Amino acid sequence: MNLDFLNLGGYGQFVWPAFIFTFVSCIVLYVKTRNELLKQEKIFSKEFNKKQSAKIEIAKHKEVLSASPIHQTY
C-alpha cells in the first residue's frame, strides 16, 4: 500500500521530482528573501539608534525618513 502510493502507477518518478522541485525552490527563495530582510532591518535599526542621544539629530533624521511623500517625483 505504502509503496503503491510512492509509485503512483509508475508515474512516481515524474510526479515526486515535480513536487519536490516546486517546494525546494519556494523554500530557497523564502529563506533568501527573509535573510535579506533581516539584514536590512538590522542596518536600518542601527542607523536609527545610532543617533538617539543627540535629539536634534534625531529630529532631522525623522524628517528625512518621512520626507518622502508618495507622489513626489524623483
Q: How far apart are the first and last CA of the chain?
A: 64
Residue 25 CB, nearest approach to other proteins (Å): 6
DSSP 52: S
Residue placing its CB nearer to other proteins in the complex, 55 or 71 = 71
Q: How many angstroms separate the CA atoms of 67 and 60, rounded? A: 10
Q: List residues binding other proteins (CB under 8 A).
A: 5, 8-12, 14-15, 17-19, 21-22, 25-26, 29-30, 33-34, 36-37, 40-41, 43-44, 47, 61, 64-66, 68, 70-74
Residue 14 CB, nearest approach to other proteins (Å): 5
CA angle, 54 as apex, 66 and 39 as ends, to 5°? Answer: 55
